[in-house]
A and B are shown apart, each in its own frame.
Chain A
């Protein structure tokens, strides 16, 4: 799966038709990751990052970005699922305790100077000296303290569904601020993924005075942080802009005078806007690559974009016919992952994955390609699938729930599944509805099988525990396995990255044996970013624990600069 960097950072001379833009855009809104600090990241695989040409950074210029405002509420980044743009504005104006290194995809200190687990139930972080809030009322440039961090984390962890990230802190007993520079988090049980949770886009540290003044963070006026940029203006209809924080406390940036986001309703309009020179960079959809090719002064960076989706065909296994393991095995054998990949990423650059599609954590493709259902050619698997269908009684009816909206490959994929399953003897019907109805059926387990694509935080713990843990909030499959639950408990307590990775891999191998999702079908995918030549310092393709989140430029806005 891994490629040398020279094969990754290249320009328009290669016309690779890849998808993944939607995946990455959504993935950046998903979140979390990790294990330990930067030096102890959970990946042992080579990095596949790609960056713009080196040079001496200079000050000046405004970076212009389009953003799709497909969802998201107001500016209270700590509540609900923020729009890509809302989170980006906050991450440029604010800091978390941790951020994501876009080059590696690993969590690294943002406000945290150093951190450790002195014992399995205690996490301690020391804040960077000199960190201070924006020079605006009501904080007026005062120093950032551990009490501010404690206040923010307690707000994010509020036991209210509106604070959607609160479950990241379910295993936290309490937050403490023993002195101005020290944050201590006491856990109920060992929880190594905590660092990744603290690097989440939504885990922005805010001053208590702002909440006291505004009541919450929903107003753009409340966007006051300690970050390299200060809000100029923002709304939820047109977009917004930030400008350089002249009093930024950390060396090495920001270099840009500002960043400007324009909310655009339609992907075609983004493409036209880019062609017309209104934007400096954007994630190019596969179909649009040829349109970008003729533009002068524009490069396309081709990079591995890990995703944090659970993909495949599955449903509750406590109901017939999926309660029969032979039916699930037949589905697993019948699915042609290569053909499906071509449906989702036509002409694309991808390799099969199974459960987790981040090379830092997923089962390697070479191992997968020897597994039943993943082998090529498919002849033997299809013959075995037919026997299993027959042994399970034959005439098995399956209803595949899917959605015709957002994005279209849900439906395309469902049609491919239908054809493949009918080829081995299933009788398949499609149940198509709009996205909200589809998600409603999924959430309430009112479906037989569906074209799964729920997004998870980027740390493997989120997907494994959330979707397959006995008490997982999104265990739509009614899967319960003591062995699997033990794996979750072990990986949560394991601080050694390599040992943790092995536990995560073993957990996925167990899933491939038990098949709670009858047909796991995910892919390691490359994506493309169109960038004007004068935009420098952009890093893409970090595949560490938080790789999917690293694709968001707000994490690296401080380091981006523009050549004259």
Chain B
């Protein structure tokens, strides 16, 4: 419990650092939201400057930063400079889409990566192992955005089929929701599943060479029992660590897949916000993504307790 509290306390400086970096980096890019808002309009430079003043964009950066942090501390994520809408309500509207996509992709990553990695290790240097390793390399080599584009384009050409183009909640229509999410989640998971499969294979092979595995076999335990009781559990520790770090990359990957599959989630929101220099939206989404990554990593650390009871000490 003490450990958990200490880890949670570390969230605050981490989030502050993330906020500071995002705040500064986004402002280093030339151009601002006013340029876009007044794009190609008959507005003089003086009027544009007045507008910047009105939005507080002319304030010194430290002043803007302090204002923003104070607002966030109060739970106020501000309003989109571009739309005027509450950033928090924008995020709440889009979060279910991204969460579903990311969770499904994570689920498929684990579902595909770990069993195939185990199989590959168990059947080391046999045709199944070779086949799985070649498949994994191929999976790593094929860009997800290309597969995603094909998955949209080819069914439309061959069968005049496309998934629903507006979000359907699983509570409204589970079938349509599945048609919308399963394919992008599967494609998105492919890359990560291949990495995980290779990592699982290596970790398993390492464990298989340990003395205690040989001892277990010598005691007469069946091969299945040795794998299930002694190998998988020990082999999974580095795999789960890797999975934890991949979650951040996976969340970032939603940007591309939401664009291709027309899912109006957090990814497409932040993509648009960056293009439009919508500072409050960019900052808020990044804080939440950072928080999500921290929580996942905390969960990964906690899972060690189950996988390796020695860590309790």
Contacts and interface: CB of A to CB of B under 8 A. Distances in A.
Interaction A to B: yes
B165 A262 contact: yes
Contacts of A275: 156-157, 160, 162
Nearest to B51: A161
A428 to B, nearest CB: 22
Contacts of B51: 161-162
A277 B157 CA distance: 11
Contacts of B258: 265
Interface string B61-103: 0000000000000000000101111000000011000000000
B31 A436 contact: yes
B194 to A, nearest CB: 25
B36 to A, nearest CB: 6
Given A263-B264, A269-B262, A436-B29, A161 B43 contact: yes
Contacts of A405: 275
Interface in B143-163: 149, 152-153, 155-157, 160-162
A81 B40 contact: yes
A436 B43 contact: no
A440 B167 contact: no
Interface stretch (A34-42, A221-229, A236-244, A508-516): A236-244
A164 B43 CA distance: 7
B152 A167 contact: no
Interface stretch (A1-9, A143-151, A184-192, A454-462): A454-462
Contacts of A436: 29-32, 35-36, 275-277
Contact of A440 (B30, B156, B157, B264): B30
A269 B150 CA distance: 11
Contacts of B259: 265-266
Given A30-B40, A265-B258, A265-B259, A71 B276 contact: yes
Contacts of A474: 40, 42
A130 interface: no
B41 A164 contact: yes
Contacts of B82: 73
A456 B31 contact: no
Interface string B212-231: 00000000000000000000
Contacts of A114: none
A386 to B, nearest CB: 35
A264 interface: yes
Contacts of A473: 41-44
Interface string B11-54: 00000000000000000011110011111111111011011000
A441 B37 CA distance: 15
A71 B36 contact: yes
A439 B36 contact: yes
A280 B29 CA distance: 40
Contacts of B39: 71, 81, 439
Contact of B156 (A71, A276, A437, A456): A276
Contact of A437 (B31, B93, B160): B31
Interface string A243-278: 000000000000000000011111011011101111
B166 interface: yes
B43 A456 contact: no
Interface string A142-184: 0000000000000000000110110110000000000000000
Given A273-B162, A436-B36, A238 B41 contact: no
Contacts of A73: 37, 80, 82-84
Given A167-B41, A272-B156, A237 B264 contact: yes
Q: Which of B31, B93, B153 has the most CB of A within 10 A?
A: B31
Contacts of B262: 263-266, 269
Given A263-B264, A440-B35, A268 B30 contact: no
Interface residues on A, range: 35 or more
Contacts of B192: none
Contacts of B161: 276
A80 B37 contact: yes
A266 B29 contact: no
Contacts of B261: 269
Interface in A204-227: 218
B94 A268 contact: no
B83 A74 contact: yes
A168 B41 CA distance: 10
B283 interface: no
B297 interface: no
B284 interface: no
Interface in A270-320: 271-273, 275-278, 291
B87 to A, nearest CB: 13
Contacts of A441: 30
Contacts of B300: none
A6 B166 CA distance: 39
B260 A266 contact: yes
Contacts of A440: 30-32, 35
A224 to B, nearest CB: 19
Nearest to A73: B83
A29 to B, nearest CB: 9
A409 interface: no
A560 to B, nearest CB: 21
B120 interface: no
A298 B45 CA distance: 47
A371 interface: no
A278 B85 contact: no
Contacts of A435: 275
B254 interface: no
Given A275-B156, A440-B31, A268 B149 contact: yes
B180 interface: no
B278 to A, nearest CB: 10
Interface in A438-466: 438-441, 443-444, 454-456, 462, 466
A397 interface: no
B166 A276 contact: no
B160 A439 contact: no
A415 interface: no
A289 to B, nearest CB: 14
Contacts of B166: 238-239, 262
A237 B93 contact: yes
Contact of B85 (A74, A161, A439, A456): A74
A30 B51 CA distance: 21
Contacts of A262: 165-166
A268 B44 CA distance: 37
A514 to B, nearest CB: 22
Q: Which of A161, A168, A273 has the most CB of B within 10 A?
A: A161
A526 B29 CA distance: 37
Interface string A392-409: 000000000000010000
Nearest to A167: B42
Contacts of A81: 37, 39-41
Contacts of B37: 73, 80-81, 162, 164
A434 interface: yes
A342 B41 CA distance: 29
A405 B29 CA distance: 15
Interface of B: 29-32, 35-45, 47-48, 50-51, 80, 82-85, 93-94, 149, 152-153, 155-157, 160-162, 165-167, 258-262, 264, 268, 275-277
14 contacts: A80-B37, A161-B48, A236-B83, A237-B93, A237-B94, A237-B167, A265-B260, A265-B268, A266-B262, A269-B260, A276-B160, A276-B162, A439-B31, A440-B32
Given A269-B260, A272-B156, 8 more contacts: A237-B93, A262-B166, A273-B156, A275-B157, A275-B162, A434-B31, A439-B35, A440-B30
Minimum-distance CB pairs A-B, first 9: A436-B31, A272-B156, A440-B31, A276-B162, A167-B42, A437-B30, A237-B264, A275-B156, A164-B41
